[in-house]
Amino acid sequence: MRNKRGQTLGVAIIISIFIFIVGMLTINIIKPEVTVARSPEVLDCSNASITDGNKLTCLAVDVVVPYFIILVLAIAGGIITARLML
């Protein structure tokens, strides 16, 4: 009989890899939208004389992709960690 803890850890690793791959593929969908949002026609983030509200919006749009990557890594790592704690 196989070790049940080893089996659940293996399944957790497979699920984590799947979530990581899906998350990284989703970034390819999000990244062009972020580029369009920062363009001169929409927010004009490269202009130094924009309002403070637009600067804050540009900052919020800029952090979407890094936060999404961190979120995907945290979820995948959390699944593995949760299985190790059982």
CB of 29 within 8 A of CB of 23? Answer: no
Report the distance separating Cα 69 and Cα 65, nearest Å.
Answer: 6
When divided into structural domains, the chain yields a total of 1
* Per-residue confidence (pLDDT) for residue 3, from 0 to 100: 67
Residue-range definition of the domain harbouring residue 18 = 4-85
CB of 80 within 8 A of CB of 66? Answer: no
pTM of the model: 0.78
Tens digits of pLDDT across the chain (86 residues): 566 667 788 888 999 999 999 999 999 999 999 999 988 898 888 888 999 999 999 999 999 999 999 999 999 999 989 888 87
* Per-residue confidence (pLDDT) for residue 68, from 0 to 100: 94
* Per-residue confidence (pLDDT) for residue 10, from 0 to 100: 86
